[in-house]
Amino acid sequence: MAGISGVNGNIAISGAIGGIIKSWTANFTRASTDITGFGNATRNRAIGIIDLTGSMTGSLDASTSPTVAFTGNTAAAAITLTAEGGNTLVFNAIIDAITVGVAVDGEATFSANFGIASTATAFTSAVTVTWT
Amino acid sequence: MSQVILTTIYNKLVAVTTAGTVYDLVGGKIYQLEGPQGTVMPLLVYAISNEDTTTFMSSATQSMHTLDCAFTFYFKPDSSVVTAMAAEAALFLLLHKASMTPSDVSYSTIESICTSRGVPTINVDSIVIDTTYRIFATKQS
């Protein structure tokens, strides 16, 4: 067992991202419905659909337009989130927002948000988790 | 922080030596960190005061260095403040929003912007102007 530092992290999506990325996040959530009834001693909840959204941040790329991933991927595309070699999450996603920022004192930032877009009938089919 | 960046800055400072340039106004006496003992003013000393390195996720090795570079002019106390400010103005003309050619091809770009032009002050036996520039360098190898 060993900790992962992120030094060898990476993110890739079919087609170009349009930025040079230095960090990513993935946020797993699942809906839950309160079905507490009379007689229950505690809250009772029913499990719901899993959602997976995330973000990436970095700098603008001089050679690739920042809008390319936003307008180029009109259908769900496979995105690969790498923590390090052998530890990856792969799923189909759409990029639903990008933010571009430039400051005269040096920063030229790029960030994008993505969300899972899958017709799979099982989580294991929708998200391929490789963790060795 | 890289010697390539320091060398690139120095090359920029000494590239043009005609009348009215920084090089000319300090008599070519431009030094890193400190001047040699006994150096006669005027002179210009510059040093890196802050450094930050940002690394990106990529198949290639990419990084961006952000440096604060402090330039300090020293002029004789009996010289004119206007002369000292002319040298500072020449430096501003040279380095504010400037792009420099890296001294080594491992760097893609080196750019600079002025963050503080400073004011002339009397420092016992000299007229001093401290001025600061922010340097941005991108590296890909």
Tens digits of per-residue pLDDT, A90-119?
Answer: 999 999 999 999 998 888 999 999 999 999
- pLDDT value of position B59: 66
Query: Over the stretch B117-140, which tens digit does the pLDDT of each residue have?
Result: 989 999 888 999 999 999 999 887
Ranking A33-37, A59-63, B15-19 by mean pLDDT, the lowest is: A59-63
pLDDT confidence band for A51 (50 / 70 / 90): very high
Cα A97 from chain centre? 12
Residue the block writes with tokens 């922080």: B1
Neighbours of B48 (CB within 10 A): 17
Residue B86 confidence (pLDDT)? 95
CB-CB under 8 Å, A11 with B113: no
What is the Cα Rg of chain B in Å? Answer: 16
Q: What is the percent of chain A with per-residue pLDDT over 90, rounded to a whole number?
A: 72
Q: What radius of gyration do chain A's Cα atoms show? A: 18
**Element of type H or E holding A88:** strand A87-102
- Show me where the domains of chain A are located: 10-131
What is the model's pTM? 0.82
Q: Does domain A10-131 have CATH number 2.60.220?
A: no
Domain ranges in chain B? 3-140
Q: What is the mean pLDDT of chain B?
A: 91
Pick from B56, B66, B115: CB nearest A58:
B56
Chain A residues with at least one Cβ partner in B under 8 Å: 9-11, 20-24, 58-59, 104-106
Q: Would you state the pLDDT for residue A71?
A: 82
B134, B112 Cβ separation under 8 angstroms? yes
Looking at residues B75-88, what average pLDDT do you find? 90
Torsion region of A86: left, alpha or beta (phi above 0 gives left; psi -120 to 50 gives alpha) = left
**Looking at the complex, does the CB of residue B124 fall below 8 Å from at least one CB of chain A?**
no
**Contacts of A26-32 spanning 24+ positions with Cβ under 8 A:** A26/A52, A26/A53, A26/A54, A26/A81, A26/A89, A27/A52, A27/A53, A27/A54, A28/A52, A29/A53
Q: Rounded mean pLDDT of B98-116? A: 92
Give the pLDDT score at A70. 80
Query: What pLDDT sits at residue B1?
Result: 54
CATH topology (fold) of B3-140: STM4215-like (3.30.2000)
pLDDT at B141: 63
What pLDDT is attached to residue B71?
96
Residues in chain B closer than 8 A to A106 (CB atoms): 66, 113, 134, 136
Q: Quote the pLDDT of residue A107.
A: 83
